[in-house]
Amino acid sequence: MSAPLDPPPAVEAPLGEASVPSRRSALLIGLGGALVTLSLMAMGGLFWLTQGPDAALGIGGVFSLVDGDGKTVTEKGFRGKYMLVFFGYTFCPDVCPTTLNQVAEAMDRLGGQADQIVPIFISVDPKRDTPAVVKEFTTAFSPRLVGLTGNAEQLEKVARAFRVYFAERRIGSGPDDYTMDHSSILYLMGRDGRFIAPVRAEGSGEQIATDLQRLIGNPSISNGARL
């Protein structure tokens, strides 16, 4: 005997006027949810970065990474300078190269003031971005740019410290068939290593230079810096 053909009443109910809008609502709610998720990802955490000074207290901190020559570096090595920190990966097709280009231009525009700032690129793709690969990549943009990477554990720690999101996204079955989703925020850190403010990564080189000048020229920041 085949199974009884009585489907559950909810499914069998005629498609009255009520059920169509409710399906649409469900669809809209679903789409809305997806959009919210995408927006949150695109914002890369700018929500909480802009929630007042208290929200900024937890950003940054200690880290231990590897530079382009394979040497271990920590946040202490940058004391006395501002750090402009960006997370990404060298295979990035658009955001990272564009941002680093703008950062390099901003540094050129700042002239002598740029000596106070160390732009730092931290790769979140340790499988492909060896120290040598990162060094070659960053040097192509500017000799001032410091490229850092690390093992998975080191990178997870530094990403957590900066509240950076990153995740591998498969685009095929091959070992290299993946991209990295990542937050794209420039973090300006003070001479004492503490977070000052986010800088718009999508800005032009001129815009980034202006933002940096404004932030570094702010007496309350300069006074608070320990040299």
Residues that bind Cu ion (CB under 5 A): 88, 92, 95-96
Closest CB to Cu ion among residues 88, 147: 88
- How far are the Cα atoms of 32, 38, 205 from residue 35, in angstroms, in the given order? 5, 5, 30
3-state SS assignment for residue 133: helix
Min dist. Cβ of residue 69 to Cu ion (A):
23
CB of 103 to Cu ion, least distance (A): 13
Residue spans of alpha helices (H) in the chain = 9-12, 19-43, 46-49, 53-56, 95-110, 131-141, 152-161, 205-216, 219-224
Residue of this chain nearest to Cu ion (CB atom): 92
Rg (CA), the chain: 23
Of the pair 95, 140, the CB lying nearest Cu ion is at 95
Amino acid in the structure at residue 59: I
122, two tokens: 């931290």
- State in angstroms the smallest separation of the CB of 135 from Cu ion: 17
Cβ atoms of 184 and 86 closer than 8 Å: yes
Return the number of the residue (98 or 130) whose C-beta is nearest Cu ion.
98
79 versus 165: smaller Cβ distance to Cu ion: 165
What tokens appear for 51 in the block?
A: 């929630």
Of the pair 92, 155, the CB lying nearest Cu ion is at 92
Rounded to a whole number of angstroms, the minimum distance from the CB of residue 88 to Cu ion is 4
Structure tokens at 38: 């995408």
Minimum distance, C-beta of residue 46 to Cu ion, in the bound complex (Å) = 16
